[in-house]
Amino acid sequence: MIIAITGTPGAGKTTIAKLLSERLNYVYVDLKDFAVSNGLGEAQGDEIAIDIKRLPEVAREKLEKKDVVVDGHLSHFIPADVVVVLRIDPRVLAKRLEGRGYSRAKIADNVEAELIDLILVEALEKSDSVIEVDSTGKGPEEVVEEILRLIGNGIKKRVGVVDWTTYYDDIVQYLHVREGDENH
């Protein structure tokens, strides 16, 4: 079984994917490492640009019939049996990304992506089996238990779990980047 763990940067993908792979005794796959080692990724500054056009074909060839948990904010582009979209309150996300030293522009981009369900929508366009999980205020073990319960119960689709628009007035401060703030 291929389980893809996706979500905006800062949602907890790596922690959850590693813990889930341990609990299931599946192989953990970092999508960036997978892309680079299979000629699908190229370093561009601090980021890895991944060829998402070729990614599904190569992932199918290399991962098919294997038990893996794939970690990455583009993992919903691979053919997975289950795509888990981790969600997090954009206010919490902004604080996490600030703590990581992200630029104001990068924080704004990621907060906006979370606010408008960008990754969830992309996942739904690529897969029929998408499970949305709100990780806000939950410990990693609790999130993994929720994922295991949902998969174990045969849930193929669960979306509409969150609506961040009710917090728009609190979030809007993170969406505006003043000129000169791009790198701060």
Two structure tokens written together for 151: 């998969």
Q: Give the three-state DSSP class for 68.
A: strand
CA distance 114 to 127: 19
What letter would DSSP give residue 164? Answer: G
Nearest Cα to Cα of residue 117 among 86, 151, 82, 153? 86
pLDDT of residue 172: 82
Q: Which CATH architecture has domain 2-88+127-162?
A: 3-Layer(aba) Sandwich (3.40)
Nearest Cα to Cα of residue 34 among 1, 65, 86, 77? 77
What letter would DSSP give residue 26? Answer: P
Residue ranges covered by each domain of the chain: 2-88+127-162
Contacts for 86 with CB less than 8 Å, ≥ 6 apart: 5, 6, 7, 11, 12, 13, 16, 133, 135, 143
CA distance 125 to 7: 15
Q: Could you read off the pLDDT tens digit of each residue along the chain, which spans 184 residues? A: 999 999 999 999 999 999 999 999 999 999 999 999 999 988 777 778 898 999 999 999 999 999 999 999 999 999 999 999 999 999 999 999 999 999 999 999 999 999 999 999 999 999 999 999 999 999 999 999 999 999 999 999 999 999 998 887 888 887 876 555 555 4
20 near 5, Cβ under 8 Å? yes
CA distance 106 to 121: 20
pLDDT of residue 60: 94
pLDDT of residue 170: 81
pLDDT of residue 171: 82
pLDDT of residue 37: 92
pLDDT of residue 177: 62
What is the enclosing helix (H) or strand (E) of 120? helix 118-126
Amino acid at 104: R
Two structure tokens written together for 22: 């341990």
pLDDT of residue 143: 98
